[in-house]
Amino acid sequence: MNKEIITSRRTGDSCIHVKHSSGLDIYICEMQGFSGIEALIGTKYGSVNTMFKVAADSGYTTVPEGIAHFLEHKLFENEDCGVFELYAATGAMCNAFTSFDKTCYLFSCSKNYEENLKILLDFVQKPYFTKENVDKEMGIIGQEIQMTNDNPEWRVFFNMLGQMYHSHPVKTDIAGTIESISRIDAPLLYKCYDTFYNLNNMVLSIAGNIDADTVLEICDKHLRPCEDKGLETVFPDEPDDIVSPEIRETQPVGASIFQIGYKCRPATGIAHLKQIAAASTASSLLTDPALPMYDRLLKDGVINSTFCGELFYGNGYFTVIFSGESEKPHVIRAAMTEEINRLLTEGINEKDFQRIKKSAYGMMIRELNNVEAVANLMLGAHMEGVGPYDSIDILSELTSGDVTEFMKNEMHDGRCVLSVIEKEA
């Protein structure tokens, strides 16, 4: 077993990384004195992974949209009983989620972490799919899809992605469509499980009041070795340009909502972390209540306190998104274009930059004292191919020039989409 101690050169925080003989990557952060424990096991398998092959395959397999989410639902049901019942007996809280590029199963507890970890490792290695339980789930997920289709926040987001991405499957709802999930059956679920739930494609992350040796002993007993199958995933070619600059839809909402998204060229590894740091700072420069653009739009009644920015990124996609309530989204888009051009021409005010950077850095440091955040940090970093503490180093080295360069290269009108859900007249 290969054990590596990873230490932040800036904060002194550390964690343990083990490449287990089963193929699983394991990250452990002992946080003595904390009362809670958070554990996640994740696979690099999300809604965008609809086309794949392993070394033994002659060609690529294409599966229905929404199957990763469907599989996540079914894995909680084993032949004997439901997983929620097992966790209820230990007093732990458990959950799972499927995103665009990963699926994770997790538990939180303050005691009995050894038993909870055994449950976690056991059920993710014991799929149980039958025609009966698949057909039953079909109706449940179908209702979930219909509910999200009626959700204005969901609609404004996916409408934007649909006008932003030509071919990348990120533009499709994580749960798929009623039509796509109707093509899912037990054999197909087993094929996806055997492909993506191979331990060589997965990572376990656990943080809190734990003992690393105990965690590894449990892993030794409950992990079954897997042969690396040489998994390959592929995506359609995606151009840099957008499909259309605007989309509108009318719904019975109390106030019109909008999203303005900038389609950016994705990066990987350390370059991806640099992109995140620059994009996040650029977003803050446009949404900070202390800066002139926000103040002007607020006084004019164009925006309210819901106006904010966020980043959306993953395997093959990266978007800077601004959203909120407004009856004048065109005015907001024009103001943002004007402010970006001003910052590129005049340069970023260094005091504003340092204030925003220090705030973001402080938030990163604070999260190192949060058990849940640390567990998610270790898992997320591994899936992005970087170290758990690399993002701290990257942010500390960020300059205003890096932010200017990002805005110049990525945040321009040619790759901007406005999505609006208008209230009915």
Active site residues: 72
| Sole residue written with tokens 């164009």 | 302
410's CB contacts (< 8 A; 6+ apart) are: 262, 264, 265, 279, 320
**Contact (CB, 8 A) for 76 and 12:** no
- Residue 407 tokens read as 């805005």
| Residue 355, phi then psi, degrees to nearest 5 | -65, -45
Give the span between the Cα atoms of 370 and 130, in whole angstroms.
40
State the Cα torsion 54-60-65-69 to the nearest 10°: 0
Crossing angle (nearest 10°) for helices 67-75 and 186-196: 90
φ/ψ bin of 31: left (φ > 0), alpha (ψ from -120 to 50), beta (otherwise): beta
Q: What spatial distance separates the first Cα and last Cα of the chain, rounded to whole Å?
A: 66
With CA atoms as reference, report the closest residue to 26 among 200, 229, 163: 200
DSSP for 301-312?
TS--TT-EEEEE
Write down the H helix ranges in 151-211: 152-164, 178-181, 186-196
Q: Angle CA(316)–CA(319)–CA(323) in degrees, nearest 5?
A: 150
Q: 221 phi and psi, to 5 degrees? A: -80, -30
Q: b/e map of 338-355 (b: 16 or more CB within 10 Å)?
A: ebbeebeeeebeeebbee
Surface-to-core class of residue 20, CB atoms within 10 Å of its CB (0-12 exposed, 13-18 middle, 19+ buried): middle
Strand (E) or helix (H) holding 36: none
